[in-house]
Amino acid sequence: MTIRPMTMADMDAIERLQKANPTGAQWNPIDYLAYSTMMAEKDGAVIGFLCFHPLPNGVDGRTEAEILNVAIEPAQKRRGVATQLLATLDFQVLYLDVRETNRPALEFYRKHGFKKTGHRRKYYNYPVEDSIMMTRG
């Protein structure tokens, strides 16, 4: 598997992966270029992506970023794709929100050292749902 930054050529793959993950963020694919997005490829095909936003260093000087969206090809889930994408993030503190009912994602993030730090009511649309805020570091 290869991990690389997103390019303009990835628009169709982003759209395909979003459709395959309907409860994830459904942005216009070009909007991902405003952030940092890493693509996972296997045998020449994009099988996942992780979008994040580096933040200004915290008051303690630690590097921080917010994970905005992760989407993995359904047939490739639970095969280490998201783990490898997450491993590319070289920040001391990471933040994210997860749908309250997304048990596989909550377990994945707990396994990777994230802890629940808050709760946002009606954070998500389509369907409307609460989020669990999580932080690592």
For residue range 87-128, list pLDDT tens digits in order: 999 999 999 999 999 999 999 999 999 999 999 999 988 789
Residue 127: predicted pLDDT: 85
Q: Which sign does the torsion angle of CA 50, 36, 66, 100 carry?
A: negative
Residue 25: predicted pLDDT: 86
Please give the span between the terminal C-alpha atoms of the chain, in angstroms, as a whole number: 27
Q: Work out the pLDDT band at 136, boundaries 50, 70, 90.
A: very high
Q: pLDDT by residue (tens digit) across 42-80?
A: 999 999 999 999 998 887 899 999 999 999 999 999 999
Separation of alpha carbons 33 and 20, rounded Å:
20
